[in-house]
Amino acid sequence: MVRVVAGTIVSGIGVLFLLVGSLGVFRMPDVYNRLQAGTKCTTLGACLAAVGVGIIEPQWFWKTFVIALFILVTNPISNHAIGRASKKSGVPLCDRSVVDVTENLKEYEGRS
């Protein structure tokens, strides 16, 4: 019983973070800020949701732990890949941006 309650609470917190993350994807002004909301919140959200299931069903705990670990390792890489591809193909930063060092780099010349 305690296990079910604890697992549900952990999963619930995870789902809340996922909700905030998807809300962020709507509210943010450009692709880079959307990536921030879309990865930060979903990393912890998905990990907590998985581990919560593992707490409810103890024989699955280590499997869900490995799932959480793989999410932690792979999520930043997909984030980086999308961000880099957007920058390389010339997607501009939003109007509220204050600084962009890529303007002075030869690797990014003529791409925005």
Partner 1 sequence: MSDTANERTGRARDYCYLFVMLFAIWMVLTSSLQWQEVITGVLVSVVLAVYLGRTYATLGMPPLSVKRIGYFIVYLAVLSMEIVRANFEVAYIVLHPKLPIKPGVVAVKTCLKQDIAKTILANSITLTPGTFTLDIIDDTLLVHWIVVRSEDNEETARLISGRFEKYLKAVFA
- The residue among 1 and 103 lying less far from partner 1, judged by its C-beta, is 103
Contact predicate 33/79, CB 8 Å: no
Measured at the alpha carbon of residue 71, what is the angle toward residues 70 and 75, in degrees to the nearest 5? Answer: 120
**Residue 13: CB atoms within 10 Å:** 15
* Smallest distance from partner 1 to CB 36, Å: 5
Q: Which positions lie near partner 1, rule CB under 8 A?
A: 17, 20-21, 23-24, 27-30, 32-33, 35-37, 39-41, 43-45, 59, 62-63, 65-66, 72-73, 75-77, 79-80, 83-84, 87, 93-94, 96-102, 105, 107
For residue 100, how many other CB atoms are within 10 A of its CB?
13
Of 1 and 33, CB closest to partner 1: 33
